[in-house]
Amino acid sequence: MTPPPAPAPESLTDTPVRASQADITAEIDALHRSFEQRELSGERLPSTVHDFPAYRSSVLRHPTKNLKLVDPETIELLSPAFGQRDVAAIESDLTIQHAGEPLGERMTVSGRVTDSWGRPVANQLIEVWQANSAGRYIHQRDQHPAPLDPNFTGAGRLITDDAGEYTFTTIKPGPYPWKNHVNAWRPAHIHFSVFGSSFTQRLVTQMYFPGDPLFALDPILNTIWRQKDRDSLIAVYDHELTSPEWTTGYRFDIVVDGPDATWFENDDERGEQS
Amino acid sequence: MSVPARTLRATPGQTVGPFFAYGVEYDRMNQVVHPFAPGAVLLGGTVYDGAGAPVPDAFLEIFAADSDGRMPRVRGAFRRDDHTFAGFGRAFTNDDGRYEFFVRNPGAGAGHPALFAAIVFARGLPDKLHTRIYLPDDPDSLASDPFLASLEGAEQATLIAERRPDGSLQHDIRLQGENETVFLAF
């Protein structure tokens, strides 16, 4: 029996009449101004807004009602437990997962995961995934006609140490085109999935690189409407992390946030550790 | 004890994008318990968008107490050994927008109804969404829950799973529109 066809890739499901970059940039600016006004009038807005139509595929996928404020239940104040043994060492080096070396600019990314009080998030899982140096994802629905790299998958896993620190080695991803609007390009980025000390602190985000000219044009980065919040997703070049003749180094610290109740949970006994 | 002021600004979330599958998939990730373990129950449903179309590129995470109400505090969600209860699972929606987990019925806590904590991620969703999936089996416990009581009837219904005759749990997620699922802020 023939399996049913896979759903159309993003390129085919989005609106057939596509806006220009100038339209999208104007929409982004107008949205940012409206959020600034709403905040000035006393509204409390999240850092990332769900209702951001310049990101076209969000139009039918964002909730239209306000989130309901609720006291966390016990389970929501805990987090799944992880330990060093949950990942193999090879998983934190994306450049050694194949027979040969991937093409591109080798780099080290390192940082610290803390809560908003600065306490380390220890022994928790970080998952990363990214495009290759040509801007191509290994995912089968990525139809960007840039080459796949037989020596690069682009997925890694790491566990934070007792100080909340993590490090991984990879190659710098390229920017890639998508179909949100005509001539749409995503700034180069690495996806991060982070478990905090509490389920409420769960975070999925993207790390960017300093000085990317595509920042202001990108509706996804700009779903974060404050400049200082967008800036917090840009890694910092760190020459101390750069190793001679080997890799350039970038630092990306992550702060997971939860309700006040997470202040008290942090000192609880953790699950079995590594 | 009072909570001190926060000293660091939280890192904002971003969408998981379209190509998360190879980054976050792992072996038996939707098997919170082994499918043939005693007490294993199927928890499944469909994620819909605002036009009522299934969402084929979303994933759900759940985290819940064991059947006796004990909170999971041990490792094992990531490398399944088929007997340790770690309480966590992750499931991608398939081409029909459907997700499925193998779970045990979580037990109720003191004065609280039995529930799964749940998070939804999707392409086109700029940030995670927290929700809950309550078990339908104890109406008194649901009726006495202050949070559920604060919701209108139609809103409540979006958080309570349906028990099917075969014992499985059915629970759809509607990101937008009529009967939009109640999503949470903490």
Give the up-direction half-sphere exposure of residue B161: CA atoms within 13 A in the CB hemisphere: 28
Q: Measured between CB atoms, does B23 come within 8 Å of chain A?
A: yes
pLDDT digits 0-9 by tens, B119-156 = 999 999 999 999 999 999 999 999 999 999 999 999 99
* Residues of chain A positioned with their CB less than 8 A from the CB of B15: 55, 58, 204, 220, 223
Q: How does residue A267 score in pLDDT terms, banded at 50, 70 and 90?
A: low
Residue B30 lies in a domain: no
Partner-chain contact A75 B64, CB within 8 Å: yes
Told to judge if A191 belongs to the known catalytic residues of this protein, a careful annotator would answer yes
Q: Measured between CB atoms, does B110 come within 8 Å of chain A?
A: no
Over residues A81-85, the mean pLDDT reads 91
* Residues of chain A positioned with their CB less than 8 A from the CB of B112: 73-74
Identity of the residue in A10, A63, A115 whose CB atom sits nearest the CB atom of B176: A63
Query: Distance of CA A90 to CAs A159, B79, B149, Å?
Result: 12, 16, 50
Over residues A17-25, the mean pLDDT reads 94
Q: Measured between CB atoms, does B152 come within 8 Å of chain A?
A: no
Partner-chain contact B19 A142, CB within 8 Å: yes
Amino acid identity, position B135: L
* % of chain B exceeding 70 in pLDDT: 99
DSSP-based three-state secondary structure for A18? coil
- For the record, the structure tokens of B181 come out as 């699922």
Q: CA-CA distance, B156 to B139, in Å (whole number)?
A: 12
Partner-chain contact A70 B49, CB within 8 Å: no
Q: How far is A233 from chain B (nearest CA, A)?
A: 7
Q: Which domain holds residue B134?
A: 40-174
Spot the catalytic one: A186, A208, A230, A250. A186
Minimum mean pLDDT range among A163-167, B109-113, B171-175: B109-113
Interface probe, candidates A44, A61, A127, A234, chain B, greatest B C-beta count within 10 A: A61
Interface probe, candidates A55, A204, A251, chain B, greatest B C-beta count within 10 A: A204
Over residues A173-187, the mean pLDDT reads 96
Residue B140 lies in a domain: yes
Told to judge if A137 belongs to the known catalytic residues of this protein, a careful annotator would answer yes
Q: Measured between CB atoms, does B10 come within 8 Å of chain A?
A: yes
**Would you say A95 and A106 are in contact if contact means Cβ atoms under 8 Å apart?**
yes
Tell me, what's the pLDDT at B166? Answer: 96
Q: CA-CA distance, A212 to B33, in Å (whole number)?
A: 45
Q: 3-state SS of B32-68?
A: CCCCCCCCCEEEEEEEECCCCCECCCEEEEEEECCCC
Spot the catalytic one: A32, A55, A56, A137. A137
Tell which phi-psi region holds residue A56, choosing left (phi > 0), alpha (psi between -120 and 50) or beta: alpha
Partner-chain contact B181 A63, CB within 8 Å: yes
Q: How far is A194 from chain B (nearest CA, A)?
A: 10
Residue B139 lies in a domain: yes
**Would you say B78 and A91 are in contact if contact means Cβ atoms under 8 Å apart?**
no
Residue B179 lies in a domain: no
Residue B156 lies in a domain: yes
How many helical (H) and strand (E) elements, i.e. helices and strands, does chain A have?
5, 12
Q: How many separate domains does chain B show?
A: 1
Name residue, tokens 């082994």.
B34
Q: How does residue A242 score in pLDDT terms, banded at 50, 70 and 90?
A: very high
Q: CA-CA distance, B117 to B138, in Å (whole number)?
A: 18
Residue B33 lies in a domain: no
Nearest CA in chain B to A252: B11
**Would you say A242 and A250 are in contact if contact means Cβ atoms under 8 Å apart?**
no
Q: What is the mean pLDDT of chain B?
A: 96
- For the record, the structure tokens of B36 come out as 């043939």
Partner-chain contact A61 B19, CB within 8 Å: no
Residue B34 lies in a domain: no
Nearest CA in chain B to A268: B73
Q: How far is A139 from chain B (nearest CA, A)?
A: 6
Over residues B29-54, the mean pLDDT reads 97
**Would you say A167 and A108 are in contact if contact means Cβ atoms under 8 Å apart?**
yes
Decide if pLDDT at A12 tops 50.
no
What's B157's domain CATH number?
A: 2.60.130.10
Identity of the residue in A7, A59, A191 whose CB atom sits nearest the CB atom of B20: A191
Decide if pLDDT at A11 tops 60.
no
Taking the whole predicted model, whether its pTM rises above 0.90 is answered as yes
Residue B120 lies in a domain: yes
Spot the catalytic one: A176, A181, A208, A230. A176
Q: How does residue B102 score in pLDDT terms, banded at 50, 70 and 90?
A: very high
Cα dihedral A235→A167→B13→B124 (10° resolution): 100
User: Quick one: CA dihedral B130, A75, B98, A222, positive or negative?
Assistant: positive
- For the record, the structure tokens of A245 come out as 């003749």
Partner-chain contact B14 A50, CB within 8 Å: no
Decide if pLDDT at B32 tops 70.
yes
> How is chain B split among helix, strand and coil, in percent rounded to 5?
10, 30, 60
Q: CA-CA distance, B156 to B179, in Å (whole number)?
A: 10
What are phi and psi for residue A189, nearest 5 degrees? -155, 160
Q: Measured between CB atoms, does A117 come within 8 Å of chain B?
A: yes
Strands A189-194 and A203-208 turn out to be antiparallel
**Residue (of A77, A89, A66) closest to A256 by Cα position:** A77
